[in-house]
């Protein structure tokens, strides 16, 4: 049995959880999330605790036990508190601006980069070089942040690029002199 899967999930008062054999729906003040779950995973609710259990002990199912417990926990945390990621633009002339439903990035290319913002994600730009992303869906938030970051990955020689907050770039020495 999974060590993570055995842990109960605490449900805050502001969150409601509805589940059937193949789907779970979590509602809170920041939105509604739903996901499909295998029929071999059982869910029991006792007061404000949610317990995830297995209906059989097959090897493939044991590997999913901790995964689905973590996915459901992320849904509960997301609709009650929201997840936040911060990206930092590091480089001369690198800027970001939000215009309507898209974010415009100036990253040293000959043209500005425009990226469509998904409905479930809120974007805030601070001082032109810091991008704050918030969402209740952790998976979509991480995917959107990695799509932004893919336009200028941090490079090891000067440390320029789009970095996550508090990310350390291991620097290289570059060419040695003659």
Which pTM was predicted?
0.88
Q: Which fold has domain 3-81?
A: Outer Surface Protein A; domain 3 (3.90.930)
Q: At what angle do helices 59-81 and 138-149 cross, to 10 degrees?
A: 80
The mean per-residue pLDDT over the stretch 83-102 comes to 94
> 3-81 and 83-164: same fold?
yes
Residue 1: pLDDT band by 50, 70, 90 thresholds? low
pLDDT of 177 reads 61
Q: What is the pLDDT of residue 47?
A: 86
pLDDT digits (tens, 9 = 90+) for 144-178: 999 999 999 999 999 899 999 998 889 988 887 66
Secondary-structure class of domain 83-164 per CATH:
alpha beta
Distance of CA 70 to the CA centre of its chain: 13
Which ranges constitute the DSSP H helices of the chain? 3-6, 59-81, 138-149
> Which DSSP letter does residue 127 get?
T
Express each pLDDT in 95-128 by its tens digit. 999 999 999 999 999 999 999 999 999 999 999 9
Q: Where are the domains of the chain?
A: 3-81, 83-164
The values of phi and psi at residue 43, to 5°, are -125, 130
């Amino acid at each position: 049995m999974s060590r993570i899967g055995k842990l109960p999930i605490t449900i805050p008062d502001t969150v409601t959880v509805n589940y059937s054999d193949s789907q779970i729906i979590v509602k809170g003040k920041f939105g509604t999330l739903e996901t499909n779950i295998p029929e071999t995973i059982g869910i029991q609710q006792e007061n404000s605790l949610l317990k995830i259990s297995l209906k059989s002990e097959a090897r493939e199912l044991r590997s999913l036990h901790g995964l689905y417990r973590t996915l459901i926990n992320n849904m509960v945390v997301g609709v009650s508190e929201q997840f936040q990621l911060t990206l930092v633009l590091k480089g001369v002339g690198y800027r970001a601006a939000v215009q309507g439903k898209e974010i415009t990035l100036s990253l040293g290319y000959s043209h500005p980069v425009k990226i469509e913002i998904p409905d479930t994600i809120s974007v805030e730009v601070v001082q032109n070089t810091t991008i704050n992303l918030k969402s209740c869906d952790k998976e979509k938030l991480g995917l959107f942040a990695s799509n932004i970051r893919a336009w200028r990955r941090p490079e090891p020689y000067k440390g320029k690029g789009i970095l996550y907050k508090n990310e350390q770039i291991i620097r290289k020495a570059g060419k040695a002199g003659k």
